[in-house]
Every structure is written in C-alpha cells, then in structure tokens.
Amino acid sequence: MDDARRALDELIQQRGVNYSSVSRLLGRNAAYIQQYIRRGSPRQLDEQDRSVLARFFGVDEKVLGAPARRSGPVVELVHVPLLNVEASAGHGALAEMEAKSAQFGFDEKWLRRLTASKASSLSIIAVHGDSMEPTLHDGDEVMVDLGDGQARLRDGIYVLRMDDMLSVKRIALEPQGKRASVLSDNPAYPSWRGLEKRTLNIVGRVLWFGRAL
C-alpha cells in the first residue's frame, strides 16, 4: 500500500466513517474507496475526488497523492450533524433528537442537487430494524430534510413520529390526493392505507443513505 492509500485509510479510521460513506460522498459506487485502498484500482484518485476528500478531512491534497504544485488552501465542506437517534424500521426508537459530536461533510454543489433546503434543516440518523428491506438495511444512515415535510408531502420515503417513536416508512399518495398510505417495503411488516394526510406526523423526507460494506 503506497503512502497516499495508507494516509486515506488512516484518515477514514480517525474520522469514524467507512469506505462506503466516503465513496458516496464522491458520488461513486459504494465499493470505490475500498477498491482504491485495498486493490489499487484506480491507480490514483481523480483530481476532483482528491480535492473533495482533502476538504472533507481537512488535509493538504499532497497527503492524498497530489503533486506539490496542486496544493492550496483547505476549503470547508457543508457539515451535516449525525443525530443521536435511530429511526425504527422494525423495533422503534424514542423520538428525541440530540446531536452527536460526529458530522458528515458534503460538497455544497452536490448537496444542492439533493435539496434547496438550508444545511441547518438537514440531519443524519441511523435506521434500526428491517421493515424497509430491501431498500434500507438495519444500520444504514439516512440524511433527513427536516424542512421538507407535511406542506410538500408527496410519494417518497419519510421519517414519521408514530406513537412517540421515530419510524422510517414509504409514503404513497392515493389517487384522490387527500389520503395516503404508509408502507413497509418488507411485506412481513404492516402497512397502513387510507390515512388522512393531515393526521401524519412528518419529521422530514429521506434524501440519501450511506451503508457499511
């Protein structure tokens, strides 16, 4: 393993993230960073990927293999807090949301492609349980747009408060537009149909997820 790969591997371990989430930060497939570090493919990081990683980890690009002439000032990414709460996809979690010290950093342009909401409206929480299999797995981390809720309700995956618990479920609007179904993607779990939209307690819309390999 060369110095650049070793340095990136150490930075990932120190930050407490994983290969998959860092790959998704770059807009790559989930195995991209693992293949780069462990298999040496690609032989070197793409210039843009290296720049994003340098900003995310707060290091000079030279640490990640850039030639000296390409070094420059470190630019901060948009940081989204990781909340100390799990959204039930099976078992349930208390609906109390407190920020952990951990944060994810995202490129601002990439984030704007996901949502027009301000960064202060975004949070990342963990999924607990398997009621949303195969879409979401137990332990996945999802980005929730807290500013995209009841007023703009449409088909998609949302975090809801249900019986003082946080749950992640799929919402499908029914044809007449006044009622909605709250669905578990895993057929072994219950779904609820014909609910009045105004009765749903929406926390926010799920925009993105990260998954450990």
Q: What domains, with CATH codes, occur in the chain?
A: 3-70 (1.10.260.40), 78-210 (2.10.109.10)
Neighbours of 120 (CB within 10 A): 10
- In this prediction, residue 60 has a pLDDT band, given cuts at 50, 70 and 90, of confident
pTM of the model: 0.61
Give the list of residues 6+ apart from residue 196 with CB closer than 8 angstroms, or none: 178, 179, 180
- Residues 162-174, mean pLDDT to the nearest whole number: 88
- Residues 143-151, mean pLDDT to the nearest whole number: 91
Supply the DSSP symbol for 76: P
Neighbours of 164 (CB within 10 A): 11
Residue 35's pLDDT is 92
- In this prediction, residue 180 has a pLDDT band, given cuts at 50, 70 and 90, of very high
Average of per-residue pLDDT values in the chain? 84
- Residues 164-170, mean pLDDT to the nearest whole number: 88
pLDDT tens digits, one per residue of 75-118: 567 888 877 666 655 544 434 455 454 677 888 888 888 898 88
CA torsion, ordered 19, 23, 24, 29, to nearest 10 deg:
-110
